[in-house]
């Protein structure tokens, strides 16, 4: 089989790229190592920047998002027993939308299937060949049979552990990483959210986040040890700890209920450079990971898709390849700015086990300045709603 663009990975970035390319008349195929059921069940982020919403609209899959998504004009930062609202709308003219990544994936899968586009699930032993030549191709196994796809270009949208980045010669790539000494213990529960907007809380016992997936589904997190055992945390223990980390006005209003998902997520910052290797382009988590503080993971993947789609569209329209050649540089400039923001917010909101009272005082001083200075609030808001592409 020969195709114009072969996409590895059917997460949101691969599906979004495939949908945009299809609407531009560019042929694609997607291969995915997991089952369709697993892909649709994955629980991930839920705060979308305006740029991500615009891209989903451009791909023709924004209808349900606009009906069910929750637009947020602000966000709350809590510390020293009080909460402070950052008015995103008034400071930047932009907002964010809460709409779960699981729902984004459903919308994209439905649109791809409705258009009759091909996705091959449950593939094994994916290998990428000849990326530095004009005859690049992918081999994989499906039900014990080896298949080959020849492609003009390959988009590696297969995440941190995928085949794409690992297929690049070690001497051709540089990686930068910061592993944080804690994780997030998170739960999902079908209970009304504590607040109509997200609450990020800094407390001497550790960070907490009150988020949501809908008007009836809450997503809560607390900072924990990275080696925490989920079975040691009953729902009652979790809610008790969450209350301790919130200002009293919020703790008193917390509705509790049984969780149906509970997990511990480690935190890291990771960037691979460059993001292009001949005919292979890395997209999203294949090239970069950010801590969930600041909600940049999915949104960064979307901005990568924007740059790569525009470059491929110009290539197939007969333009020169200046945009393809600039993909890595353009994507990485925005990536590093988002990595900086996520790192800064993580450092400001979390308790670091090896640092003492001095560090805690600095964190409070930084937060106090952020909420009391319009310039500082504006800089925070600009980064939170998403920097321009």
pLDDT, tens digit, for every residue of 207-248? 999 999 889 999 999 999 999 999 999 999 999 999 999 999
Catalytic residue among 288, 296, 306, 315: 296
Cα(242)–Cα(253) distance, integer angstroms: 12
pLDDT of residue 2: 94
pTM: 0.95
- The residues with which 66 forms a beta bridge, in sequence order, are none
User: What is the rounded (10 degree) CA torsion for 34, 19, 92, 375?
Assistant: 50
Domain 180-267+352-385, CATH: 3.30.9.10
Nearest Cα neighbor of 75 from 382, 300, 301 is: 382
**The pLDDT of residue 164:** 97
pLDDT at 353: 85
- Is 200 annotated as catalytic? yes
Ranges of the chain with pLDDT below 50: none
Residue 134 has a pLDDT of 73
> Pick from 3, 5, 4, 14: which is nearest to 286 by CA?
14
Q: Write out the E strands in the chain.
A: 2-8, 28-31, 47-48, 70-72, 74-79, 82-87, 96-98, 119-120, 124-129, 137-142, 145-156, 174-189, 199-201, 208-214, 217-224, 259-273, 276-277, 280-282, 288-289
CATH architecture of structural domain 2-71+98-177+268-346: 3-Layer(bba) Sandwich (3.50)
| CATH 3.50.50.60 domain range(s) in the chain | 2-71+98-177+268-346
Return the structure tokens found at 83: 């909460």
Q: Does residue 72 have an active-site annotation?
A: yes
Query: Would you call 221 a catalytic residue per the annotation?
Result: no
For the chain, residues classed under CATH 3.30.9.10 are 180-267+352-385
Largest CA distance in the chain: 63
Helix runs in 182-321, H state only:
235-244, 248-251, 297-316
Separation of alpha carbons 386 and 329, rounded Å: 18
Active site residue 121: no
Q: Which of 99, 180, 200, 307 is catalytic?
A: 200
């Amino acid at each position: 089989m020969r195709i114009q663009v072969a996409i590895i990975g059917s997460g949101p970035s691969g599906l979004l790229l495939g949908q945009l390319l299809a609407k531009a008349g560019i042929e694609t195929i997607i291969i995915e190592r997991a089952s369709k059921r697993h892909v649709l069940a994955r629980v991930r982020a839920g705060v979308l920047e305006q740029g991500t919403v615009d891209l989903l609209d451009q791909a023709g899959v924004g209808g349900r998002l606009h009906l069910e998504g929750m637009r947020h004009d602000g966000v709350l930062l809590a510390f020293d027993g009080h909460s402070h609202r950052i008015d995103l709308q008034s400071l930047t003219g932009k907002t964010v939308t809460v709409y779960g990544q699981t729902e984004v994936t459903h919308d994209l899968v439905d649109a791809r299937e409705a258009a009759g586009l091909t996705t091959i699930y449950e593939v094994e032993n994916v290998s990428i060949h000849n990326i530095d030549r004009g005859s690049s191709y992918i081999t994989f196994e499906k039900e014990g049979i080896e298949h080959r796809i020849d492609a003009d270009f390959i988009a590696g949208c297969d995440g941190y552990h995928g085949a794409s980045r690992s297929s690049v010669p070690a001497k051709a790539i540089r990686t930068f990483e910061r592993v944080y000494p804690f994780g997030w213990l998170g739960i999902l529960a079908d209970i009304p959210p504590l607040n109509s907007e997200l609450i990020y809380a800094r407390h001497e016992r550790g960070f907490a986040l009150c988020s949501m997936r809908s008007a009836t589904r809450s997503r809560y997190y607390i900072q924990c040890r990275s080696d925490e055992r989920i079975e040691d945390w009953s729902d009652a223990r979790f809610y008790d700890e969450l209350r301790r980390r919130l200002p009293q006005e919020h703790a008193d209003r917390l509705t509790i209920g049984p969780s149906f998902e509970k997990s511990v997520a480690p935190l890291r910052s990771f960037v691979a450079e460059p993001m292009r290797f001949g005919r292979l382009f890395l997209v999203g988590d294949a090239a970069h990971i950010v801590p969930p503080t600041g909600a940049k993971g999915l949104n960064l993947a979307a901005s990568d898709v924007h740059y790569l789609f525009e470059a491929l569209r110009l290539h197939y329209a007969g333009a020169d390849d200046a945009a393809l050649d600039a993909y890595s540089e353009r994507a990485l400039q925005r990536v590093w700015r988002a990595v900086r923001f996520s790192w800064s917010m993580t450092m400001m909101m979390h308790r670091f086990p090896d640092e003492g009272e001095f560090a805690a005082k600095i964190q409070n001083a930084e937060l106090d300045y952020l909420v009391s200075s319009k310039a500082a609030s504006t800089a925070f808001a600009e980064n939170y709603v998403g920097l321009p592409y």
